[in-house]
Amino acid sequence: METISLTGKDLAAALNADSKQRAAALAERGAAPRLVLVVANDDPASGWYVKSLQRAAERLGIDCDTVDLGPNTTADAIRAELRALCADIAVDAVMLQTPLPAGVALRDVSLAIAAAKDVDGVSPHSLGLLAAGLPGFPPATSEAVVELAKHHDIPLAGKHVAVVGRSNVVGKPLAQLLLAEDATVTVCHSRTTDLAAVTGAADIVVAAAGRAGLITGEHVREGAVVIDVGTNEGPDGKIVGDVDAESVRGRASALSPVPGGVGPVTTALLMRHVVDAAAASRA
């Protein structure tokens, strides 16, 4: 069986083109969208990601600033900074980067991010809005999975989707987004009995567990669609997904690549959220 590659390049380009045009229109009114990234670590991977977001914002005409609180800051200091930024009418969007200092939980400090500026949907408030089907910003990675499927004309309504991973960043919010698309969703995790039997019964398998090569050909029924959300560092230092692509190709009807699948769409959606937040604040 031929396995189609579910690339995200074209979708990301289309999203970015629209965001750039809308950001320019806002700038012409004297108020370009503004994103502030709050960092409280000295993690190299986080630093790389912050720089990539800064470059993406610059390309689209979005102002992007960074507040570096240092790796030894406290939960109180992080909350105070987030509240101050959310109270600043010149700031449209706020993102808190992880990892956080030891002893600081994301769920506690993220409560300080106002839902209207929580463009990555990390706070319990935003997750609650999503679960209730109310307007808000969903986590961009979860949204990217749905948008990538739609872009490649993969039907979701009535389909059985197995989501492998139950994090608040991907698994849980993705389940809510898929339910809103009328899919039937099974969320799998580390204590799921006979994972291969569960995923093997699904029409679509989404791998979002953060374990390189977890999903193999034996986890996928013939003709199923596989979307890989994983970003793990391989033995050679290259980024690999949660799917053992070689064993899945020829069995799955479609597979998203890593890199080049969900990743670019996630970044494009984050930037779209920033523009959406700016447009809403000026309405």
Please report, as a single letter, which amino acid is at residue 281: S
Compute the residue count for the chain: 283
Binding-site residue ranges for NADP(+): 165-167, 231
Residue 275 · residue 21 · CB < 8 Å: no
Binding-site residue ranges: 165-167, 231
Sign of CA dihedral 48, 105, 38, 174: positive
Q: Residue 170 and residue 144: Cα distance in Å, rounded? A: 10
Strand 204-207 to 225-228 pairing: parallel
Can you spell out the DSSP letters for the chain? ---EE---HHHHHHHHHHHHHHHHHHHHTT---EEEEEE----HHHHHHHHHHHHHHHHHT-EEEEEE--TT--HHHHHHHHHHHHH-TT--EEEE-S---TT--HHHHGGGS-GGG-TT--SHHHHHHHHHT-SSPPPHHHHHHHHHHHHTT---TT-EEEEE---TTTHHHHHHHHHHTT-EEEEE-TT-TTHHHHHTT-SEEEE-SS-TT-B-GGGS-TT-EEEE---EE-TTS-EE-SB-HHHHBTTBSEE--TTTSHHHHHHHHHHHHHHHHHHHHT-
